[in-house]
Structure 1
């Protein structure tokens, strides 16, 4: 039972992050001919096509990506409760819990992008396709923090500051929404 809960939770989280990443890449005008961008587009396109068939309005793709990420976040906890307790409860509070799940996934995505960028700075020569996308996604965040904390003695503390802020926010939300935040 725990294995099934773990797998369902991870698959939903991966898709939430993929939709958030697609919206973020469109917002940052990343290169969509990049192989990594094409991968994200291919795994998210079937649900976006289905949503566009249901909603006949011409909504920008980044809004549809965020809408699908939110819908997945809203159905995540009821689905996990159905697997765990064999009961399905529809409650309007799941909309708020979905917002919390979306916020948590967005924080995890920013954390992963900053960590990957930091690791790629040590290892890579900035000529792989993922380097370009990670740089385009993380540069506005890194730049805004590095203006406050400039490079000292050749060390860039901006990634450390961003990770510290994300950890602090995670623990703050853990204190405020302890049981729910853990389940998300």
Structure 2
């Protein structure tokens, strides 16, 4: 079904599904980071994801104290997206590769979230008054624990923090070198 509307339909579908996956991943990482759940942004994420996660949590228990239902829901949404996208475009006819590609899609979304989160976190650090905003506090609770080990490894440059740059480099290396290899395993 290759028409002029195929690619825009897949793009629109991907945007909607990726936004839902982002909220599910945020829910997972906020719980993993033990973020402040009194933050209004965090409360909004919880309210948005609860209708999907509450029924799943009855069936899927936490794994190692982490919210497995959020991750599974993200992977299932990615699987649904890939199935619909390949159906619309007439691509892959086998379902089995999609079972591997769905977690890889979630990993790609996760790496994109991390990339933009690091950049926004670094830019917000230039504005001291912005640190009091609920979104900035939430982002700080998610990004700072990832920067801490890198800060211990890097030399002190007198007020210049290169840890966001190092983490951005690591994220891009994973996205450009590791993710394609993992995706290639399914094909």
Residues 92-101 or 58-67, more deviating: 58-67
Alignment of structure 1 residues 79-94 onto 2, 5 Å: 79-85=84-90, 89=93, 91-94=95-98
Residues 119-128 or 139-148, more deviating: 119-128
In structure 2, which of residues 148, 160, 174 is the aligned counterpart of residue 169 of structure 1? Answer: 174
Structure 1: gaps spanning 5 or more residues: none
Task: Work out whether residues 79 and 88 of structure 1, in 8 Å CA contact, stay in contact via their aligned partners in 2.
Answer: no
**What is the distance in 2 between the residues matched to 1:167 and 1:131?**
23
Task: Work out whether residues 78 and 90 of structure 1, in 8 Å CA contact, stay in contact via their aligned partners in 2.
Answer: no
TM-score by length of 2: 0.84
Tell me the C-alpha RMSD between the 2 structures: 2.5
TM-score by length of 1: 0.85
**2:114 is equivalent to residue 110 of structure 1:** yes
Match of 2:69 in 1: 64
How many residues are paired up? 178
Alignment of structure 1 residues 46-65 onto 2, 5 Å: 46-52=51-57, 55=59, 58-59=61-62, 62-65=67-70
Structure 2: gaps spanning 5 or more residues: none
Task: Work out whether residues 150 and 157 of structure 1, in 8 Å CA contact, stay in contact via their aligned partners in 2.
Answer: no
Residues 145-154 or 18-27, more deviating: 145-154
Q: Which runs of 4+ in 1 moved over 3 A?
A: 57-61, 87-90, 177-181
In structure 2, which of residues 56, 60, 82 is the aligned counterpart of residue 77 of structure 1? Answer: 82
